[in-house]
Amino acid sequence: MSRDRLLLILQALHFSENPKDDETVPTDRLYKIRPFLNIFEETMSEIYSPKRELCLDESMILWRGKLLFKQYLKGKHHKYGIEVYMLPASSGIVIQQIVYTGAGDLIKKTITYCRDCVDEPGLCMEPCFLMYHGRDP
């Protein structure tokens, strides 16, 4: 595929409608790609249901452009980027993901996702957040 063809496809790629002038902008910072993320999570929950050996993975997606929730982590190889918390199984299949968009309700979302994935509620992610991030749920 040529570069021009790829740029044309990227120009036309659109996941949601822009708010009209009289509408308020949604508070979710990922509102334009949220339908895509929801479809991904629904599909993964339908085709794969792990029972054990889950882990919490903190990843950094390299991004140097302008973005409100861009992170700077001095110790990482890619210092600037978008922080993503993922719940992969031992096979490497990502079951759930949370894109860090600010301090808001990250822990509430994480513990809710964990309860949906594991038989024992809150077993996999709650201790990790308390140990490494020092926050109460």
The count of residues in the chain is: 137
- For residue 76, give Cα distances in angstroms to 12, 50, 72, 73, 126: 34, 30, 9, 6, 24
Q: Where along the chain do its domains lie?
A: 3-133
Task: Give the Cβ contact number of residue 83 at 10 Å.
Answer: 19
Other CB atoms within 10 Å distance of the CB of residue 101: 15
Report CA Rg, the chain.
17
Q: Nearest CA to 118 among 39, 40, 53? A: 53
- Give CA–CA dist 27/124, Å, rounded: 29
Task: Judge contact between 49 and 56, C-beta under 8 A.
Answer: no
| Token pair recorded at residue 92 | 């490497």
Please state whether the predicted TM-score (pTM) of the whole model is above 0.75.
no
What pLDDT tens digit does each residue of the chain (137 aa) get?
Answer: 899 999 999 888 887 777 777 777 777 888 888 888 888 888 888 888 776 777 878 888 898 888 888 888 888 787 889 888 888 888 888 888 888 887 665 555 555 555 555 555 444 555 545 544 444 44
